[in-house]
Structure 1
Amino acid sequence: MENFLVNNRPMSPKDWGIDVALAVAALLFGCVQLMVTSSSLVVHDLALRQYLGTVNVVPDASVFVALALTTLPLVARRRFPWPVFLFVMVVFLGLQSSFRGLSLTMIGPAVALYTIASERGRVEALVAAVLAVGGLLFVDMSARTASLIFFTRFQNIAFAAAAALAGYAYRTHRAYVVETEQRALEAERACGEEAARRVEEARVRIAREVHDITAHSLSAVSIQAAAAERLIDRDPEAAKQAIATARTTAKDALEEIRSMIGVLRCDDVAETEPTAGTERMEDLAVYLRNAGVETILDRGGYDRSRVPAYVDVALYGIAREAATNIVRHADARTAVMRLTLDGSTARLDIEDDGRGRGDAVTPGGHGIAGMAERVGLLDGTFWAGNRAQGGFAVRVGLPLGGTGASHV
């Protein structure tokens, strides 16, 4: 019952002020309407005024008291919508025939009905509208003529219907605005989550790239430094060459890392060269040969012009990681790196005759796991494991994607 009597909604001082102003405005409007309709301002013809029974009709204090009873309760209309509506409607209908030649204004009951429709929903608005229309249809009127009674009754019913429809329309509009705002907030939150996910993916990708660069380059530097240490006494020229190679490798690695960091800068445009792709596969073969691994590079079945840039770059990154793992873990004598195109798939096969190794080759999840993750992001196929005849193999298949991909 409390839910029927009281509308549990917060009311600020501003809301109360608006309702007080509305109630006073409704009272003033009713007073003006009474004065105007009871004078000759509306109906000028004396004979017609005599026929309607509005000659020498002067509103007394009781009329204004009745009008106040149908308007001033609107102060509490939003806090107590049903009690206010029932009170002003009963007073309006009960006093409608009490004043000869005068009809109370419908403004108070119309505003109360509008409040129920806007605050309480469709069902309660329909019930209130039916009660109002039913009361207006059967209430006695103070007018003398049937035509005036019909006009007044029709006018009041039209006001009641318009008030109910306006209140329901406002409620629907308000609900639509709230839903739109919620959807906008959800969309903003989803965008924030998507941005956070992309940042995390970028962080993992950068960590993988830095790992690939440093692991590959430091392995090469370590090999050349060890060679220089062995040759420095008996072959100084060869030792110098090994040191120069180590220095060049370190310089290239620093430039790659600097370029990668430059991409992350927001306020400046990073000046970088295109990301390395399979055109640098020969560098990997040289890297393996310098490490003492006889390497065969087969690119006869591969056409870079048909391969999207992101696929070509991914293949080179995987090949670089695999080459680094061969040097660091395989203890191999020979290795084969093969690039081919198989229909709409680019394939990379790398094999060695080393001692084989487990899946978790590189600590920290940036070895085999990093290769598998890179392939998974491109919806490709990946396999890495020990060969039956000895050694280790990495096999990758990447789809070439749609025609809209950029090519190298």
Structure 2
Amino acid sequence: MISLRRSIDISIGSISSSKLRSALTTLGIIIGVAAVIANVSIGASFNQFFNDEIGAVGSNFIVIYSQGVNVFFDKELDLIKNTPGVTGVSPINQQMARVTYLSTSRQIDIQGVTEDYEEVANLKMDAGDFLDDKDQFVAVLGSEVAYEKFDKKISVKNPIEITFRREDGGVVSQKFIVKGIIQNPNTVFVQTGVEPEIRIFIPINTMNRMLGKDDYGGFFIKASSLDTVRDTANDIDYRLARTLGVSARELENDDTKPYVMFDQLDALEQTNQVSAALTSLLTSVALISLIVGSIGIMNIMLVSVTERTREIGLMKSLGYTRKDILTLFLTESIILSLIGGIGGTVLGIGVAFIANYFLDLPNIFPLKQIITGFTVSVIVGLVAGIYPANKAASMDPVEAFRHE
């Protein structure tokens, strides 16, 4: 029986004798494996990128918006504060207003919040400080508002004038002093409606007094951990629905509730679906390359069997068994796929690294998927080599010697 070492030596010798043909054969495997690994890695990088963007929007957040006026009051705020798993909550009111700085006026979204909003929304300050619950006529600006909206940049301690139009048609104006400027979270793809860079934040009590109202438009809530976000959201949903007169039978029907809510897991699920669909599509295309590569290996092995027919006959006459011949040709096929797998793995990681660099994505290389891609290349070589190897092993030695 031929030893594995001897089988490997003979296979390497055969591959070396046809370097160009072997190189062209492994090229198909290299491209296929590289495509699979690169696409999986880029898909994982996009997934991490989306997760990071959502994390920049808020920390374990739950967002609730009313679908009308006079829905949420202090009673609902206290109810949410006392819900197990809630570590922070800020009521929200928002309205477009005319903002004047020096001689320039712009229409900007004004958001009334409390001091908890800084933690819940995971805000980072570029200058100054965020609002305090004791503040009245101070404002915190998003970076785009402070640096891009007006003819001159706005700095901390600069005065701005905010003019609201009330529901009764009246107009009310008030001067605010800029207390802080928020860093831009640079969320490119993930939009949740709470982007701080394009807003101005003022104390919600001050905003309500100016508008002559005492209700809230919604709440921005922080749960104790990402693992408890969904349970906490469901508990809040149940308590609010019961307080607002929504029956238990209608609790699952969002159309019957006077509010809408979503949480961080909802946003993560949506982005993960997009990322998974993209990865699956690209990987499917890459697998076609692997199939083409396997056809190439089968082709070269069949050619090799034809060219070495007399050699096979000689080997059989010298005592090589059918199993020896089968092992020899399968070993050669696997070596070709191993070379392609190694080259494809290196190339795939390199392509993913370059793509992530230009796309400004984090470098994520899932070890499990890389090992899977490499293993697939070996399996492809094994499967592609079975038919040619079996054909060689089944040759009659007398007929093999007669082959020209």
Structure 2 length as normaliser, TM-score? Answer: 0.25
**Which structure dedicates a bigger proportion of its chain to helix?**
1
The structure with the larger Rg is 1
Structure 1 length as normaliser, TM-score? Answer: 0.25
- Quick one: higher RCO (CA 8 Å, sep 6+), 1 or 2? 2
